[in-house]
Structure 1
């Protein structure tokens, strides 16, 4: 079972990336040919509040307009069918147009979630898509790094995992401008490879392609000569890695060395962070 803090990092990453990847997700994964798409407010509230992962108003190439509701699910949830039914009722009441609902399952096990209800006076279903059953090349073929990252969750089609990972990393490298953006995507890929237990292969590949992130431009080594928006991006990258390291310290039994590799920081940094967390915990107690 995933630690709640680990689940939140996947949620954050998905929300950051999916606006960019959405056009390819629509056509390549959901089979929707969108002629027009606009974001909708994600908060729904009547007697209770619900915040869907993604909502969009879509007009497809046939002229039909509908609300697209997507949930990204990390593990099996026996209550998913009821949650989706609640969402459906709230969305239908608010927007008064057809609703299409999809749950994209990121887990590495077989999905056991029920996606339909057939009872007297009630019929309902949502689309359940298991990512590991989709050929990873569907994601890798995208021009957007945000979707290429998702290839690690797909079906490797009996290919060697390290070979596939290398293709993904090289594909991201080819479509990424600047080492700061590249570092961000690699940190996100570090998170996703844990869902497939591919940390060892990932770290081995990263050692051989380390020139992708030149040390003098790596946000963990920059010493103040960057300015403006680049400086802000550096701070954001450092903060994200620091937060990721903190979650690994609190939610796993990994050694400081392993955490440093996963989070893209130094071992001394992890040791300082661990001491600070212990001190904070003792004060709170």
Structure 2
């Protein structure tokens, strides 16, 4: 994708193509400028706030491939809609991993019941039991 001139993709009337501009050749332009153009055109091309949020989420995901997440989120946050990072897949994945670590540590301590651990970690009892089973197999 870096062989493509980002300017062609940014000018597209198709929002999915505009989002792909983040992967194109920036031709020496600063990343912030390019991201700003992408966001501005997405605002024009998206026909509803829900779709604009969807494209903003896609842009943030693709920005990871170029290590431009910080810049992208900063600019996306200036959009008239909110980009809810708590709905981002990687955010949710990290949150799940954190819960698993807490559960593992509480199981190792052995002072709480499975039900109490589930309540503390805010997960189902079955989830705690699954982790407990995996730990016993090691």
| TM-score, length-scaled by structure 2 | 0.65
**Equivalent-residue separation in structure 1 for 2:91 and 2:68 (angstroms):** 18
Per the alignment, residue 200 of structure 1 pairs with 70
Per the alignment, residue 91 of structure 2 pairs with 245
**Equivalent-residue separation in structure 1 for 2:8 and 2:126 (angstroms):** 45
**Residues 276 and 133 from structure 1, CA distance in 2 versus in 1: closer, same or farther, beyond 3 angstroms?**
farther
CA contact (8 A) 1:187 1:241 kept: no
**Equivalent-residue separation in structure 2 for 1:277 and 1:197 (angstroms):** 33
Indicate the RMSD between aligned Cα atoms, in angstroms: 3.0
**Equivalent-residue separation in structure 1 for 2:2 and 2:44 (angstroms):** 24
Per the alignment, residue 171 of structure 1 pairs with 41
Per the alignment, residue 2 of structure 2 pairs with 132
Higher helix fraction (1 or 2):
2
Q: What aligned pairs does 1:59-78 form with structure 2 within 5 A after superposition?
A: none
**Equivalent-residue separation in structure 2 for 1:158 and 1:247 (angstroms):** 35
**Residues 205 and 243 from structure 1, CA distance in 2 versus in 1: closer, same or farther, beyond 3 angstroms?**
closer
**Equivalent-residue separation in structure 2 for 1:198 and 1:159 (angstroms):** 14
Higher strand fraction (1 or 2):
1
CA contact (8 A) 2:6 2:24 kept: yes
Deviation at 1:243, TM superposition (A): 4.5
SS for the counterpart of 2:47 is coil
Residue 149 (structure 1) aligned with residue 19 (structure 2) = yes
> Unaligned regions of 5+ residues in structure 1, if any?
1-130, 221-239, 253-274
CA contact (8 A) 2:56 2:76 kept: no
> Unaligned regions of 5+ residues in structure 2, if any?
99-120, 132-138
**Residues 174 and 279 from structure 1, CA distance in 2 versus in 1: closer, same or farther, beyond 3 angstroms?**
farther
CA contact (8 A) 2:9 2:20 kept: yes
Per the alignment, residue 51 of structure 2 pairs with 181
SS for the counterpart of 1:142 is coil
Structure number with greater CO (CA < 8 Å, separation at least 6) is: 2
Tell me the number of residue pairs that the alignment of Structure 1 and Structure 2 aligns.
108
CA contact (8 A) 2:57 2:88 kept: no
**Alpha-carbon deviations, 1:37-68, whole Å to 9, x = none?**
xxxxxxxxxxxxxxxxxxxxxxxxxxxxxxxx
**Equivalent-residue separation in structure 2 for 1:278 and 1:194 (angstroms):** 32
